Amino acid sequence: MKCITVLTLYPDAFRAFMERGVVGRYIASGAVQMRVQSIRDFADPPHYKVDDYPYSNRKSMVLRYDVLQRAIHAQGASARLIMPDPGGKVFDHRAASALANDDEMVFISPAFEGVDARFMQTYPVDCYSMGDFIVTNGDAPVAIMVEAILRYMPGVVGCADCVMDDSILSGLLEFPQYCSPQVVDNRAVPDILLSGNHAAISAWKTEQQLRRTLYMRPDLINEFPFSESLGTIIDQIVLEDTQ
């Protein structure tokens, strides 16, 4: 059985996040062992202090090496150690898919100014960046990583094809989706989607994917492996929009 452990200063808040939706049902089924532990459990009484001021700078706090060391030694010796960090590799669907193959993962949720540098020098921690922004602690980035990884495990999402069909995995953004009512606030579902012409609908979806990606995420367009036919559609989109 796969085991995922999260070391955090706020275990109750993290557990609540992981108890919802398909991920919560998957964990509750016992298909994966999900453990959320408080870092304070590994600190010394009576104050259970997990952090201290960094040398030469008393503006914030750093998680202590000795506390984190005890927390790690309490885990499986073969567990992969993972931590969100701005200097890490970019976390994307490729990383999530690869990590889903690991049997045991331990996520460290940093807080304050991070962790004592000696911990990173001693232990093989895989660091991942969620983007160029700052949050209060690592709980949100860890939750995102755990959920993204779990979605690649068999049985989490009822429709296995839906995981692989997610927009970003194709290299393009998803086409617009519509549901009932057919008309709302004078806005109607595009006629093509009601036509029953599957070939035309497929072509419309492809054109919409290319259009949205071109204008919303041009960085993805630059990496997409275009066929000649898709290149022609892009040329038509640009030509239409410049007229």
Give tens-digit pLDDT for 16-73.
999 989 989 999 999 999 999 999 999 999 999 999 999 887 778 999 999 999 999 9
Q: What pLDDT, on the 0 to 100 scale, is given for residue 241?
A: 79
CATH topology of domain 2-158: Alpha/beta knot (3.40.1280)
- Residue 130 tokens, joined: 């969620």
pLDDT band at 13 (very low <50, low <70, confident <90, very high): very high
List Cβ neighbours of 178 (8 Å cut-off, separation of 6 or more). Answer: 189, 190, 193
Is residue 132 over pLDDT 70?
Answer: yes
- Report the alpha-carbon angle 216-218-219, nearest 5: 125
The CATH 3.40.1280.10 domain(s) of the chain lie at 2-158
Contact status, residue 72 vs residue 81, Cβ threshold 8 Å: yes
pLDDT band at 159 (very low <50, low <70, confident <90, very high): low
- Residue 22 tokens, joined: 């398909």
d(CA 62, CA 164): 39
From 35, 37, 32, 36, select the one nearest 152 (Cα to Cα): 32
Residue 1: strand, helix, or coil: coil
Residue 38: strand, helix, or coil: strand
pTM reported for the whole predicted model: 0.81
CATH number for the domain whose boundaries are 183-242:
1.10.1270.20
Q: What pLDDT, on the 0 to 100 scale, is given for residue 162?
A: 56
Longest dimension (CA), the chain: 73
pLDDT band at 234 (very low <50, low <70, confident <90, very high): confident
Contact status, residue 127 vs residue 89, Cβ threshold 8 Å: yes
Contact status, residue 78 vs residue 104, Cβ threshold 8 Å: yes
**Residue linked to tokens 């969620």:** 130
Residues forming beta bridges with residue 179, ordered by sequence position? none
* Residue type at position 121: Q
- Average pLDDT value for the chain: 90
User: Taking residues 172-191, what's their average pLDDT?
Assistant: 94
Q: At what angle do helices 228-242 and 198-216 cross, to 10 degrees?
A: 70
User: Taking residues 86-108, what's their average pLDDT?
Assistant: 95
Q: What pLDDT, on the 0 to 100 scale, is given for residue 110?
A: 93
**Residue linked to tokens 């919560």:** 24
The CATH 1.10.1270.20 domain(s) of the chain lie at 183-242
Query: What DSSP string runs through 181-230?
Result: SSEETTEE--GGGGS--HHHHHHHHHHHHHHHHHHH-HHHHHHS---HHH
